Amino acid sequence: MAKTFTPIIHKIIPASPPHPDETSYKISIGYEDWGKPQPVLVTKIQMVYQGQVSGRRAPSFPVLDTSNSDFELIVITMKEIVDEAKKTILFRLVGDDKK
């Protein structure tokens, strides 16, 4: 299978139970092939099981009666990654395409 997503920045967040042990979320910003002349800069959340990205499994977030749920941590981490990307020349060059 062809690789369609190339992460530039990523962070790994451990998943809470009832996810199996060694399960985490990979939160990334990178380029994805959408079949256009140029790849598109996107954010992506992927499930990771025992260190391997599960490319075709959509992320799911348990609804827990606790603070700092998986979903809340992912939202915070996604904002951190986007803010970090905004500081790089990579993000500025992509944004220049809209002018």
Residue ranges covered by each domain of the chain: 5-96
Q: Which helix (H) or strand (E) holds 31?
A: strand 23-32
**pTM above the 0.85 mark?**
no
pLDDT of the residue at 1: 45
Burial of 69 (0-12, 13-18, 19+ CB in 10 A): middle
Extract the residue ranges of the chain whose pLDDT is less than 50: 1, 99
Q: Which residues contact 59 (CB under 8 A, 6 or more apart)?
A: 25, 45, 46, 47, 74
pLDDT of the residue at 55: 78
